[in-house]
Copies of this chain bind each other. A is one copy, B any other.
Amino acid sequence: MFSSGLHSCLSFFLIFLLALPPVTAVWPAPKNFTKGTSVLYIHQAIQITYNGEPLSYTHGYWPRELTSKEVVQAGVSRTLGGIFDSKFVPWKLHKPGSKFEPDLNQGQTWLSKLEIVQTAEDKPSAFKPLAGEVDESYSLTVSAEGAAKLTAVSSIGILRGLETFSQLFYQHSAGTFWYTPYAPVEVEDAPLFPHRGVLMDTARHFFPVEDILRTIDAMSWNKLNRLHIHVTDSQSWPLVLPSMPEVSEKGAYHPSQTYSPTDIDNIQKYGAARGVEVYFEIDMPGHIGVVALSHPELIVAYNELPYHWWCAQPPCGAFKMNSSEVDAFLEKLFDDLLPRVAPYAAYFHTGGDELNKNDSMLDDGVRSNSSEVLQPLLQKFIDAQHARVRKAGLAPVVWEEIPLEWNVTIGDDTVVQAWLGGESVKKLTEKGLKVIDSNYNYWYLDCGRGQWLNWDNGAAFQLGFPFNDWCNPTKSWRLVYSHDPVAGLTPEQAALVLGGEVAMWSETIDSTNFDTLLWPRASAAGEVLWSGRIDPVTGQNRSQLEAAPRLNEFRERMVLRGVRSSPVQMTFCTQGSPEECEYAP
């Protein structure tokens, strides 16, 4: 009887939960979030304090230096700019003709102050943390009477909380009124994974600096915190090296398609001020063919055809595996580059994916494709490069083939980026290795849009038709959202998963379509990484029914702030209840 009574009670409770209107505001979902139904208005002269000192909303504020106060001041200004500039009247989230706005004639209760309290001084690593080094948690309260308080251990935690704060507000259609209908609000929040990233590939297609900065902005709105720039590949070398200018002079697609040291510095500082650590990858010893254009003596198999004998995509080209000239080149490269990037990053990625053993058949110093011959050479190569990375104060990152396919021993500090799916993450964590997950079946956002190679008529046509790419289908936000990097792992293994990255390999992506392909799908991964695939309250996987309305809303915010995110659902669905656009079997 008792059990039955409890069951009834639980059923009632569940029905009650389901009958609630969907939570709209806030993406990614905070750990704990309660809200009310009181309206508070906000104006541009709101009193703001940071640890007791007044702090004013200054439109377009640019941090003068990378200090806690400057970062918070700039974050506050961006947050309020986001509220006041983006003109987000949320009619797309309500049925046509419905009255969803507060009645201005009822008078206004104003949000009079936002009190920001940082409870500890930022550590020196705050703006270039290793995974877990910075505490991103925060708590936020907004009272129905009009007082808001944001508390965090670090200035990065404050930035995360400010983003949540900004998502509570809408513009009134009558004009210059902005309000939240959710007071009182209480939020306790912290990320599940410390590494939440996006991979940009600037080698297949070059991206202007402004695209990268805009992406950093959107990442910060999503509480994503790592931008991994795969800056070179066999196709092009956009990175200017003052010590070896010939590499980009010969290797860039065009003089306009380069990143100067100033560009790199600006990109990293822009990220650091937003809690987005920008780190770089120079993929090697494969995926480096372009170096042959300036240093042909270092490279084997450059642009050999048919490419698939020598590499995964044209043009082929790999470093010679047993060459003192290659070593000298890399010494010079790292001496040039690493001291410049180390002030703003904790990591440097040395690549290591898809190395084709056949390449070394063409290498006079090796003339073999035997693993037994090549493995020790690769071990030595990796050891040498990682020593250079460490000397610069950085932790190395490698692709999963280095430990799993080549059995190369790597240091305890080294992070492995998994991409091949299946058991990769399990195998890596079983070895005690730290992992970031980019499982291509879920988080390769370039996939499923068709071949980028030319297929002639005849046999090739028959083989290629219907010209799907290798990782078909397109990963919809629903598929992206379904992926849990720690599914099937033991707690010990799961603890080694630092997070993940969505990847935007750019064979068929450039400035024109980048935003539409990255967003809102990276947002879906972002919620998995910040909030977890599993809702801690229900213990169940998060449902699309709960997520879709919030993602619809957040997508509108991204578009209005200048990022061309694709739509989540058609307007009929964003305006209705999620059940109206549900597939019910």
- Complex CA distance for A450 and B449, rounded to whole angstroms: 12
Q: Does A482 contact B (CB under 8 A)?
A: yes
In the assembled complex, A91 has its CB within 8 A of some CB on chain B:
yes
Other-chain residue from B235, B466, B580, B583 in contact with A479 (beta carbon distance below 8 A): B466
Known: A450-B473, A512-B565. 18 other contacts (CB 8 A): A91-B253, A96-B293, A97-B250, A204-B570, A206-B571, A253-B572, A257-B571, A305-B584, A448-B474, A451-B583, A454-B548, A454-B573, A455-B544, A455-B582, A456-B544, A463-B585, A466-B473, A508-B566
A106 to B44, CA, bound (A): 62
25 sample A-B contacts, Cβ–Cβ < 8 Å, listed by A number: A205-B570, A235-B572, A236-B572, A314-B572, A314-B581, A448-B448, A451-B476, A452-B570, A452-B581, A454-B548, A455-B544, A455-B583, A456-B544, A456-B582, A457-B543, A460-B583, A463-B585, A464-B583, A467-B479, A468-B476, A508-B566, A510-B566, A512-B567, A513-B567, A516-B516
Shortest distance between the CB of A122 and any CB in chain B (Å): 37
**Does A569 belong to the interface (CB within 8 Å)?**
yes
- The chain B residue sitting closest to A515, CB to CB, is B512
Q: A509-B567, A567-B508, A572-B204 are in contact. Are A450 and B477 (CB under 8 A)?
A: yes
Decide yes or no whether A269 CB sits under 8 A from chain B. Answer: no
Least distance between A245 CB and chain B CB atoms (Å): 14
A508–B570 contact, CB under 8 A? Answer: yes
Select which of B541, B565, B583 is within 8 A of A457 by beta carbon: B541
Given the interface contacts A456-B545, A456-B582, does A450 sit within 8 Å of B476 by beta carbon? yes
Do A482 and B465 touch across chains, with their CB atoms under 8 A apart?
yes
Partner of A572, one of B315, B476, B572: B315
A468 contacts across to B, CB distance below 8 A: 473, 476
> Closest B-chain residue to A254, C-beta based?
B91
**What residues on B are CB-neighbors of A544 within 8 Å?**
454-456
Nearest CB in chain B: distance from A226 CB, A: 24
Closest chain-B Cβ to A32's Cβ sits at a distance in Å of 21
Q: Are B466 and A449 in contact (CB under 8 A)?
A: no
Kindly provide the distance from the CB of A496 to the nearest chain B CB, expressed in whole angstroms: 27
A459 interfacial contact with B, CB 8 Å: yes
Tell whether A579 is near chain B: CB-to-CB under 8 Å: yes
The reply to whether the CB of A575 lies closer than 8 angstroms to some CB of chain B is yes
Interface: A42 (CB within 8 A): no
Q: How far is the CB of A242 from chain B (nearest CB, A)?
A: 20
Residues of B within 8 A of A463 (CB): 583, 585
Q: What is the CA–CA distance of A508 and B548 in the complex, to the nearest angstrom?
A: 13
Per the CB 8 Å criterion, the residue count for chain A at the interface is 85
Q: Say yes or no: is A559 at the interface (Cβ < 8 Å to chain B).
A: yes
Interface residues of A (CB under 8 A from B): 91-92, 96-97, 204-206, 235-236, 250-254, 257, 293, 303, 305-306, 308, 314-315, 448-457, 459-461, 463-468, 472-479, 482, 506-510, 512-513, 515-516, 540-541, 543-545, 548, 559, 564-573, 575, 578-585
Shortest Cβ distance from residue A56 to the other chain B in the assembled complex, whole angstroms: 34
Measured in the bound complex, the distance between the Cα atoms of B206 and A477 in whole Å is: 22
Knowing A473-B472, A512-B567, A559-B512 are in contact, say whether A452-B579 is a contact too (CB < 8 A): no
**Closest 4 A-B residue pairs measured CB to CB?**
A450-B476, A235-B572, A513-B516, A467-B478
Residues of B within 8 A of A572 (CB): 204, 235-236, 253, 314-315
- Contact among B306, B455, B460, B543 for A456, CB-based, below 8 A: B543
Using known A-B contacts A479-B466, A567-B510, determine if residue A92 contacts B253 with beta carbons closer than 8 Å.
yes
Give the chain B neighbours of A453 by CB distance below 8 A: 581-583
Residue of B206, B573, B579, B585 near A305 (CB, 8 A) is B579
Q: Contacts A314-B580, A583-B460, A585-B463; is A235 near B571 (CB within 8 Å)?
A: yes
Query: Which residue on chain B has the smallest CB distance to residue A565?
Result: B512
> CA–CA, A262 to B479, complex, Å?
43
CB distance from A477 to the nearest CB of B (A): 7
Query: Complex: how many Å from CA A91 to CA B236?
Result: 14
Complex interface: chain B residues within 8 A of A581 (CB): 314, 452-454
A455-B474 contact in complex given A250-B96, A306-B584, C-beta closer than 8 Å: no
- Min distance, Cβ A478 to any Cβ of chain B, angstroms: 4
Specify the chain B residue showing the minimal Cβ separation from A568: B508
State in angstroms the CA–CA spacing of A143 and B179 once bound together: 67
Q: Smallest distance from the beta carbon of A202 to chain B beta carbons, Å? A: 11
Please tell me if the beta carbons of B512 and A569 are within 8 angstroms of each other in the complex.
no
B545 touches A253 (CB 8 A): no
Write the chain B residue with the least CB distance to A507.
B570
